[in-house]
Structure 1
Amino acid sequence: MEQFNNRNISNEYFLVDIEDYPTDGWGKFKRVVKRTFRGELFVGLWVVLREMIKFDIHTVRYPEEKMPIGPRYRAVHEMKRLWESDAERCIGCGLCEKICISNCIRMDTKIDEESRKEVSEYTINLGRCIFCGYCAEVCPELAITHGGEYENASDQREHFVDFKTMLTPLEKMKAGTQAEFEGFGAITPHEDERVKKTPLAY
Protein backbone atom coordinates (compact mmCIF):
# COMPACT_ATOMS: atom_id res chain seq x y z
CA MET A 1 0.00 0.00 0.00
CA GLU A 2 3.00 2.27 0.16
CA GLN A 3 2.84 3.08 -3.56
CA PHE A 4 -0.71 4.32 -3.12
CA ASN A 5 0.01 6.33 0.01
CA ASN A 6 3.08 8.05 -1.42
CA ARG A 7 1.66 10.22 -4.22
CA ASN A 8 4.91 12.13 -4.79
CA ILE A 9 6.02 9.96 -7.71
CA SER A 10 7.49 12.74 -9.84
CA ASN A 11 10.63 14.79 -9.36
CA GLU A 12 9.12 17.81 -11.13
CA TYR A 13 7.15 18.99 -8.11
CA PHE A 14 8.45 21.95 -6.12
CA LEU A 15 7.25 23.39 -2.85
CA VAL A 16 5.87 26.92 -2.73
CA ASP A 17 7.35 29.14 -0.05
CA ILE A 18 4.26 30.25 1.86
CA GLU A 19 4.71 32.39 4.92
CA ASP A 20 2.84 31.59 8.05
CA TYR A 21 -0.28 33.66 8.58
CA PRO A 22 0.35 36.27 11.29
CA THR A 23 -1.61 35.95 14.49
CA ASP A 24 -1.02 39.33 16.14
CA GLY A 25 -2.33 42.69 14.99
CA TRP A 26 1.03 44.22 14.10
CA GLY A 27 1.93 41.26 11.90
CA LYS A 28 -1.40 41.51 10.07
CA PHE A 29 -0.87 45.23 9.51
CA LYS A 30 2.60 44.68 8.03
CA ARG A 31 1.22 41.97 5.75
CA VAL A 32 -1.50 44.31 4.43
CA VAL A 33 1.01 47.12 3.80
CA LYS A 34 3.38 44.74 2.05
CA ARG A 35 0.64 43.44 -0.25
CA THR A 36 -0.80 46.90 -0.94
CA PHE A 37 2.38 48.66 -1.99
CA ARG A 38 3.80 45.84 -4.05
CA GLY A 39 4.95 46.75 -7.55
CA GLU A 40 2.23 44.70 -9.30
CA LEU A 41 -0.42 47.11 -8.05
CA PHE A 42 1.18 50.09 -9.80
CA VAL A 43 1.80 48.06 -12.95
CA GLY A 44 -1.92 47.26 -13.13
CA LEU A 45 -2.86 50.90 -12.53
CA TRP A 46 -0.48 52.00 -15.30
CA VAL A 47 -2.02 49.54 -17.78
CA VAL A 48 -5.52 50.85 -17.03
CA LEU A 49 -4.39 54.49 -17.28
CA ARG A 50 -2.59 53.83 -20.55
CA GLU A 51 -5.71 52.31 -22.14
CA MET A 52 -7.87 55.20 -20.90
CA ILE A 53 -5.56 57.80 -22.46
CA LYS A 54 -5.70 56.10 -25.88
CA PHE A 55 -9.48 56.70 -26.21
CA ASP A 56 -9.55 53.80 -28.69
CA ILE A 57 -12.97 52.43 -27.80
CA HIS A 58 -13.72 48.94 -29.11
CA THR A 59 -17.05 48.57 -27.37
CA VAL A 60 -20.24 48.55 -29.44
CA ARG A 61 -22.67 51.01 -27.92
CA TYR A 62 -25.77 48.87 -27.95
CA PRO A 63 -28.62 49.55 -28.78
CA GLU A 64 -27.50 52.62 -30.77
CA GLU A 65 -24.92 50.49 -32.56
CA LYS A 66 -25.38 46.86 -33.55
CA MET A 67 -22.97 44.30 -34.89
CA PRO A 68 -23.67 43.08 -38.44
CA ILE A 69 -25.00 39.54 -38.63
CA GLY A 70 -24.80 37.01 -41.41
CA PRO A 71 -27.58 36.59 -43.99
CA ARG A 72 -28.25 33.02 -42.84
CA TYR A 73 -28.54 33.89 -39.15
CA ARG A 74 -31.51 32.02 -37.65
CA ALA A 75 -33.49 34.60 -35.69
CA VAL A 76 -37.21 35.47 -35.53
CA HIS A 77 -39.19 34.05 -38.46
CA GLU A 78 -40.39 36.03 -41.47
CA MET A 79 -43.14 35.25 -43.97
CA LYS A 80 -42.37 36.23 -47.56
CA ARG A 81 -44.52 37.51 -50.42
CA LEU A 82 -44.35 36.87 -54.15
CA TRP A 83 -42.49 39.43 -56.19
CA GLU A 84 -44.98 39.37 -59.07
CA SER A 85 -48.30 39.74 -57.28
CA ASP A 86 -47.34 40.70 -53.69
CA ALA A 87 -49.46 37.74 -52.58
CA GLU A 88 -48.57 35.48 -49.70
CA ARG A 89 -46.25 32.63 -50.57
CA CYS A 90 -47.63 30.34 -47.87
CA ILE A 91 -49.99 27.75 -49.37
CA GLY A 92 -51.00 26.21 -46.05
CA CYS A 93 -49.44 22.81 -46.67
CA GLY A 94 -48.59 22.37 -42.99
CA LEU A 95 -45.14 20.85 -43.49
CA CYS A 96 -43.54 23.37 -41.13
CA GLU A 97 -46.01 22.40 -38.42
CA LYS A 98 -45.34 18.70 -38.91
CA ILE A 99 -41.55 18.91 -38.92
CA CYS A 100 -41.28 21.27 -35.95
CA ILE A 101 -39.49 19.23 -33.28
CA SER A 102 -40.32 21.66 -30.48
CA ASN A 103 -44.03 21.67 -31.39
CA CYS A 104 -44.25 25.46 -31.40
CA ILE A 105 -46.03 26.11 -34.75
CA ARG A 106 -49.83 26.16 -34.94
CA MET A 107 -51.63 26.45 -38.27
CA ASP A 108 -55.28 26.51 -39.24
CA THR A 109 -56.49 26.69 -42.85
CA LYS A 110 -59.82 27.26 -44.56
CA ILE A 111 -61.27 27.30 -48.05
CA ASP A 112 -61.93 30.77 -49.46
CA GLU A 113 -64.56 31.93 -51.94
CA GLU A 114 -62.47 30.74 -54.90
CA SER A 115 -62.17 27.22 -53.43
CA ARG A 116 -58.53 27.74 -52.56
CA LYS A 117 -56.85 26.92 -49.32
CA GLU A 118 -55.71 29.91 -47.31
CA VAL A 119 -54.14 30.30 -43.89
CA SER A 120 -56.64 31.49 -41.31
CA GLU A 121 -54.41 31.26 -38.24
CA TYR A 122 -50.65 30.84 -38.00
CA THR A 123 -48.69 31.37 -34.78
CA ILE A 124 -45.21 30.50 -33.54
CA ASN A 125 -44.44 30.22 -29.85
CA LEU A 126 -40.98 31.77 -29.51
CA GLY A 127 -40.81 30.54 -25.94
CA ARG A 128 -40.64 26.96 -27.21
CA CYS A 129 -38.84 27.55 -30.51
CA ILE A 130 -35.22 26.40 -30.59
CA PHE A 131 -34.52 28.12 -33.95
CA CYS A 132 -33.33 24.94 -35.63
CA GLY A 133 -34.38 26.10 -39.11
CA TYR A 134 -36.24 22.92 -40.11
CA CYS A 135 -39.41 24.86 -40.92
CA ALA A 136 -37.52 27.08 -43.37
CA GLU A 137 -35.76 24.12 -45.00
CA VAL A 138 -38.88 22.04 -45.55
CA CYS A 139 -41.02 24.87 -46.95
CA PRO A 140 -41.60 24.16 -50.67
CA GLU A 141 -42.52 27.78 -51.47
CA LEU A 142 -39.74 29.51 -49.46
CA ALA A 143 -42.55 31.25 -47.59
CA ILE A 144 -41.07 31.07 -44.09
CA THR A 145 -37.47 32.08 -43.44
CA HIS A 146 -35.41 33.25 -40.52
CA GLY A 147 -34.80 36.98 -40.37
CA GLY A 148 -32.24 39.07 -38.57
CA GLU A 149 -34.49 40.31 -35.76
CA TYR A 150 -32.95 38.77 -32.65
CA GLU A 151 -34.44 41.10 -30.05
CA ASN A 152 -37.33 38.89 -29.03
CA ALA A 153 -37.35 39.47 -25.28
CA SER A 154 -40.76 39.37 -23.64
CA ASP A 155 -42.22 39.69 -20.16
CA GLN A 156 -44.26 36.53 -20.70
CA ARG A 157 -43.09 32.96 -20.75
CA GLU A 158 -45.16 32.23 -23.82
CA HIS A 159 -44.32 34.79 -26.48
CA PHE A 160 -46.32 34.26 -29.67
CA VAL A 161 -45.92 35.89 -33.07
CA ASP A 162 -48.75 35.64 -35.56
CA PHE A 163 -48.88 35.48 -39.34
CA LYS A 164 -49.56 39.18 -39.94
CA THR A 165 -46.63 40.21 -37.74
CA MET A 166 -44.18 38.00 -39.65
CA LEU A 167 -45.55 38.83 -43.12
CA THR A 168 -43.60 41.33 -45.20
CA PRO A 169 -45.46 44.68 -45.33
CA LEU A 170 -46.66 45.89 -48.71
CA GLU A 171 -44.62 49.06 -48.30
CA LYS A 172 -41.42 47.02 -48.29
CA MET A 173 -42.60 45.10 -51.36
CA LYS A 174 -43.23 48.33 -53.28
CA ALA A 175 -39.84 49.62 -52.28
CA GLY A 176 -38.23 46.33 -53.28
CA THR A 177 -36.48 45.85 -49.93
CA GLN A 178 -37.68 42.33 -49.13
CA ALA A 179 -34.58 40.36 -48.24
CA GLU A 180 -34.56 36.96 -49.91
CA PHE A 181 -33.22 33.79 -48.33
CA GLU A 182 -29.73 32.98 -49.59
CA GLY A 183 -29.64 29.34 -48.56
CA PHE A 184 -30.38 26.12 -50.43
CA GLY A 185 -33.31 26.44 -52.81
CA ALA A 186 -33.29 30.22 -52.90
CA ILE A 187 -33.87 32.30 -56.02
CA THR A 188 -30.52 32.87 -57.68
CA PRO A 189 -29.74 36.01 -59.67
CA HIS A 190 -30.19 35.93 -63.48
CA GLU A 191 -32.34 32.83 -63.20
CA ASP A 192 -34.68 33.94 -66.01
CA GLU A 193 -31.78 33.95 -68.46
CA ARG A 194 -30.98 30.30 -67.71
CA VAL A 195 -34.47 29.00 -68.44
CA LYS A 196 -34.57 26.77 -71.52
CA LYS A 197 -37.66 25.73 -73.40
CA THR A 198 -38.59 22.11 -73.00
CA PRO A 199 -38.70 20.36 -76.39
CA LEU A 200 -42.07 18.88 -77.24
CA ALA A 201 -42.32 15.11 -77.62
CA TYR A 202 -44.88 15.30 -80.45
Structure 2
Amino acid sequence: MKNEQFNNRDFSNEYFLVGIEDYPTDPWGKFKRAVKRTFRGELFVGLWVVMREMIRFDIHTVQYPEEKMPIGPRYRAVHEMKRLWESDAERCIGCGLCEKICISNCIRMETKIDENSRKEVSEYTINLGRCIFCGYCAEVCPELAITHGGEYENASDQREHFVDYAAMLTPLDKMKAGTQVEFEGFGAITPHEDERVKKTPLSY
Protein backbone atom coordinates (compact mmCIF):
# COMPACT_ATOMS: atom_id res chain seq x y z
CA MET A 1 0.00 0.00 0.00
CA LYS A 2 1.44 3.33 -1.08
CA ASN A 3 0.97 6.79 0.37
CA GLU A 4 -0.24 8.33 -2.88
CA GLN A 5 -3.80 7.17 -2.31
CA PHE A 6 -3.82 8.84 1.09
CA ASN A 7 -2.26 12.06 -0.15
CA ASN A 8 -4.89 12.45 -2.86
CA ARG A 9 -7.87 13.75 -0.95
CA ASP A 10 -9.91 14.90 -3.94
CA PHE A 11 -13.15 12.92 -3.70
CA SER A 12 -15.33 15.44 -5.49
CA ASN A 13 -16.06 13.02 -8.32
CA GLU A 14 -17.85 10.63 -5.96
CA TYR A 15 -20.25 13.19 -4.54
CA PHE A 16 -23.69 13.77 -5.99
CA LEU A 17 -26.05 16.65 -5.32
CA VAL A 18 -29.44 16.08 -3.74
CA GLY A 19 -32.30 17.78 -5.47
CA ILE A 20 -33.60 20.07 -2.77
CA GLU A 21 -36.30 22.47 -3.84
CA ASP A 22 -36.30 26.01 -2.61
CA TYR A 23 -38.74 26.77 0.16
CA PRO A 24 -41.74 28.69 -1.17
CA THR A 25 -42.37 32.16 0.12
CA ASP A 26 -45.89 32.80 -1.18
CA PRO A 27 -48.98 31.32 0.57
CA TRP A 28 -50.03 29.26 -2.48
CA GLY A 29 -46.61 27.64 -2.69
CA LYS A 30 -46.66 26.80 1.00
CA PHE A 31 -50.11 25.24 0.63
CA LYS A 32 -49.00 23.09 -2.30
CA ARG A 33 -45.95 21.95 -0.37
CA ALA A 34 -48.11 20.96 2.62
CA VAL A 35 -50.52 19.01 0.40
CA LYS A 36 -47.66 17.29 -1.38
CA ARG A 37 -46.01 16.23 1.87
CA THR A 38 -49.29 15.11 3.43
CA PHE A 39 -50.50 12.76 0.71
CA ARG A 40 -47.34 10.78 0.17
CA GLY A 41 -47.29 7.00 0.10
CA GLU A 42 -45.64 6.75 3.51
CA LEU A 43 -48.75 8.16 5.17
CA PHE A 44 -50.98 5.40 3.81
CA VAL A 45 -48.40 2.77 4.68
CA GLY A 46 -48.43 3.94 8.27
CA LEU A 47 -52.23 3.99 8.36
CA TRP A 48 -52.33 0.45 7.01
CA VAL A 49 -49.91 -0.80 9.67
CA VAL A 50 -52.04 0.75 12.41
CA MET A 51 -55.25 -0.67 10.95
CA ARG A 52 -53.70 -4.11 10.58
CA GLU A 53 -52.64 -4.19 14.22
CA MET A 54 -56.07 -3.01 15.35
CA ILE A 55 -57.99 -5.80 13.64
CA ARG A 56 -55.66 -8.58 14.82
CA PHE A 57 -56.90 -10.73 17.70
CA ASP A 58 -53.57 -12.19 18.84
CA ILE A 59 -52.16 -9.01 20.28
CA HIS A 60 -49.83 -9.80 23.16
CA THR A 61 -50.92 -7.07 25.54
CA VAL A 62 -50.64 -7.42 29.31
CA GLN A 63 -53.66 -6.04 31.12
CA TYR A 64 -51.80 -4.31 33.92
CA PRO A 65 -52.36 -4.31 36.91
CA GLU A 66 -54.59 -7.40 36.66
CA GLU A 67 -51.83 -9.18 34.75
CA LYS A 68 -48.15 -8.78 35.47
CA MET A 69 -45.11 -9.93 33.58
CA PRO A 70 -43.02 -12.55 35.41
CA ILE A 71 -39.72 -11.28 36.75
CA GLY A 72 -36.51 -13.13 37.43
CA PRO A 73 -35.69 -14.53 40.87
CA ARG A 74 -32.61 -12.31 41.09
CA TYR A 75 -34.57 -9.12 40.49
CA ARG A 76 -33.80 -6.39 43.02
CA ALA A 77 -37.16 -5.02 44.14
CA VAL A 78 -38.61 -4.09 47.54
CA HIS A 79 -36.81 -5.75 50.43
CA GLU A 80 -38.05 -8.71 52.44
CA MET A 81 -37.02 -9.90 55.88
CA LYS A 82 -36.89 -13.64 56.54
CA ARG A 83 -37.67 -15.69 59.63
CA LEU A 84 -36.10 -18.84 61.06
CA TRP A 85 -37.90 -22.04 60.19
CA GLU A 86 -37.18 -23.59 63.60
CA SER A 87 -38.50 -20.88 65.91
CA ASP A 88 -40.28 -18.37 63.64
CA ALA A 89 -37.97 -15.71 65.10
CA GLU A 90 -36.37 -12.96 63.08
CA ARG A 91 -33.13 -13.85 61.38
CA CYS A 92 -31.82 -10.32 61.74
CA ILE A 93 -29.28 -10.20 64.56
CA GLY A 94 -28.86 -6.42 64.47
CA CYS A 95 -25.25 -6.46 63.30
CA GLY A 96 -25.75 -3.26 61.31
CA LEU A 97 -23.72 -4.31 58.28
CA CYS A 98 -26.56 -3.42 55.91
CA GLU A 99 -26.74 0.06 57.40
CA LYS A 100 -22.99 0.55 57.12
CA ILE A 101 -22.65 -0.67 53.54
CA CYS A 102 -25.67 1.22 52.19
CA ILE A 103 -24.24 3.71 49.70
CA SER A 104 -27.43 5.75 49.52
CA ASN A 105 -27.69 6.03 53.32
CA CYS A 106 -31.33 4.94 53.38
CA ILE A 107 -31.27 2.21 56.07
CA ARG A 108 -31.84 3.11 59.71
CA MET A 109 -31.50 0.51 62.45
CA GLU A 110 -31.85 0.70 66.21
CA THR A 111 -31.16 -2.22 68.53
CA LYS A 112 -31.64 -2.95 72.21
CA ILE A 113 -30.83 -5.68 74.71
CA ASP A 114 -33.78 -7.90 75.61
CA GLU A 115 -34.49 -9.72 78.85
CA ASN A 116 -32.27 -12.63 77.76
CA SER A 117 -29.28 -10.27 77.32
CA ARG A 118 -29.44 -10.68 73.55
CA LYS A 119 -29.46 -7.97 70.98
CA GLU A 120 -32.72 -7.48 69.12
CA VAL A 121 -33.88 -5.01 66.48
CA SER A 122 -36.18 -2.38 67.90
CA GLU A 123 -36.53 -0.23 64.78
CA TYR A 124 -35.59 -0.93 61.18
CA THR A 125 -36.65 1.28 58.28
CA ILE A 126 -35.63 1.64 54.64
CA ASN A 127 -36.38 4.85 52.79
CA LEU A 128 -37.39 3.69 49.31
CA GLY A 129 -37.20 7.25 48.05
CA ARG A 130 -33.44 7.17 48.53
CA CYS A 131 -32.80 3.46 47.89
CA ILE A 132 -31.18 2.70 44.53
CA PHE A 133 -31.75 -1.10 44.93
CA CYS A 134 -28.08 -1.95 44.48
CA GLY A 135 -28.36 -5.15 46.53
CA TYR A 136 -25.36 -4.52 48.78
CA CYS A 137 -27.45 -4.94 51.93
CA ALA A 138 -28.62 -8.38 50.80
CA GLU A 139 -25.13 -9.48 49.81
CA VAL A 140 -23.45 -8.48 53.05
CA CYS A 141 -26.07 -9.96 55.41
CA PRO A 142 -24.42 -12.87 57.27
CA GLU A 143 -27.75 -14.46 58.30
CA LEU A 144 -29.53 -14.16 54.93
CA ALA A 145 -32.14 -12.13 56.77
CA ILE A 146 -32.75 -9.47 54.12
CA THR A 147 -33.37 -10.20 50.46
CA HIS A 148 -34.90 -8.40 47.52
CA GLY A 149 -38.35 -9.69 46.71
CA GLY A 150 -40.50 -9.31 43.63
CA GLU A 151 -42.71 -6.45 44.79
CA TYR A 152 -41.69 -3.57 42.53
CA GLU A 153 -44.76 -1.36 43.02
CA ASN A 154 -43.58 1.14 45.60
CA ALA A 155 -45.31 4.31 44.43
CA SER A 156 -46.68 6.62 47.07
CA ASP A 157 -48.11 10.10 47.33
CA GLN A 158 -45.89 10.82 50.32
CA ARG A 159 -42.31 11.94 49.95
CA GLU A 160 -41.38 10.31 53.22
CA HIS A 161 -42.30 6.88 51.91
CA PHE A 162 -40.42 4.13 53.72
CA VAL A 163 -40.69 0.44 54.50
CA ASP A 164 -41.06 -0.57 58.11
CA TYR A 165 -39.50 -3.67 59.61
CA ALA A 166 -42.87 -5.23 60.38
CA ALA A 167 -44.03 -4.72 56.79
CA MET A 168 -40.93 -6.45 55.39
CA LEU A 169 -40.95 -9.35 57.85
CA THR A 170 -42.58 -12.60 56.79
CA PRO A 171 -46.00 -12.93 58.50
CA LEU A 172 -46.45 -15.72 61.01
CA ASP A 173 -49.37 -17.22 59.09
CA LYS A 174 -47.09 -17.76 56.10
CA MET A 175 -44.54 -19.42 58.35
CA LYS A 176 -47.18 -21.78 59.73
CA ALA A 177 -48.35 -22.58 56.23
CA GLY A 178 -44.77 -23.12 55.11
CA THR A 179 -44.92 -20.63 52.24
CA GLN A 180 -41.72 -18.71 52.96
CA VAL A 181 -39.55 -19.37 49.95
CA GLU A 182 -35.83 -19.32 50.58
CA PHE A 183 -34.78 -18.66 46.99
CA GLU A 184 -36.86 -15.55 46.65
CA GLY A 185 -34.96 -12.51 45.56
CA PHE A 186 -31.48 -11.08 45.29
CA GLY A 187 -29.27 -12.05 48.19
CA ALA A 188 -30.74 -15.47 48.92
CA ILE A 189 -29.00 -18.78 48.45
CA THR A 190 -29.25 -20.13 44.93
CA PRO A 191 -30.71 -23.61 44.39
CA HIS A 192 -28.41 -26.65 44.56
CA GLU A 193 -25.82 -24.66 46.44
CA ASP A 194 -24.70 -27.68 48.48
CA GLU A 195 -23.68 -29.56 45.35
CA ARG A 196 -21.43 -26.68 44.31
CA VAL A 197 -19.39 -26.68 47.53
CA LYS A 198 -15.99 -28.36 47.12
CA LYS A 199 -15.08 -30.21 50.26
CA THR A 200 -11.55 -29.91 51.58
CA PRO A 201 -9.58 -32.78 53.19
CA LEU A 202 -10.22 -31.20 56.60
CA SER A 203 -13.97 -30.89 56.18
CA TYR A 204 -15.91 -32.31 59.11
> Shorter-chain TM-score: which interval?
0.7 to 0.9
SS of the residue corresponding to residue 72 of structure 1 reads coil
1:52/1:121 Cα in 2 relative to 1: closer, same or farther (>3 Å)?
A: same
Listed as ranges, the gaps of 5+ residues in structure 1 are none
Deviates more, 1:102-111 or 1:30-39: 30-39
Identity %: 92
1:171/1:29 Cα in 2 relative to 1: closer, same or farther (>3 Å)?
A: same
The residue that corresponds to 2:29 in the other structure is 27
Asked whether the 8 Å contact 1:80–1:89 carries over to 2, the reply is yes
Asked whether the 8 Å contact 2:183–2:191 carries over to 1, the reply is no
Q: Distance in 2 between matches of 1:59 and 1:66?
A: 10
SS of the residue corresponding to residue 27 of structure 1 reads helix
Asked whether the 8 Å contact 2:82–2:90 carries over to 1, the reply is yes
SS of the residue corresponding to residue 122 of structure 2 reads strand
After TM superposition, the structure 1 = structure 2 runs for residues 28-47 of structure 1, keeping only pairs within 5 Å, are: 28-47=30-49
Deviates more, 1:66-75 or 1:186-195: 186-195
1:154/1:8 Cα in 2 relative to 1: closer, same or farther (>3 Å)?
A: farther
| Structure 1 residue 185 displacement after superposition | 8.0
1:200/1:161 Cα in 2 relative to 1: closer, same or farther (>3 Å)?
A: closer
1:111/1:135 Cα in 2 relative to 1: closer, same or farther (>3 Å)?
A: same
Asked whether the 8 Å contact 1:80–1:142 carries over to 2, the reply is yes
1:198/1:57 Cα in 2 relative to 1: closer, same or farther (>3 Å)?
A: closer
| Structure 1 residue 180 displacement after superposition | 1.4
Asked whether the 8 Å contact 1:145–1:181 carries over to 2, the reply is no
Deviations 1:121-150 (A, max 9, x none): 111111111111111111111001111111
Q: Distance in 2 between matches of 1:5 and 1:155?
A: 66
Listed as ranges, the gaps of 5+ residues in structure 2 are none
Q: CA RMSD for the aligned pairs? A: 4.5
| Structure 1 residue 37 displacement after superposition | 2.4
Deviations 1:60-105 (A, max 9, x none): 2211111100111111111000112111111111111111121111
Q: Distance in 1 between matches of 2:188 and 2:43?
A: 58
Aligned residue pair count: 201
Q: Distance in 1 between matches of 2:5 and 2:94?
A: 72
Asked whether the 8 Å contact 1:79–1:167 carries over to 2, the reply is yes
Q: What TM-score, normalized to structure 2?
A: 0.82
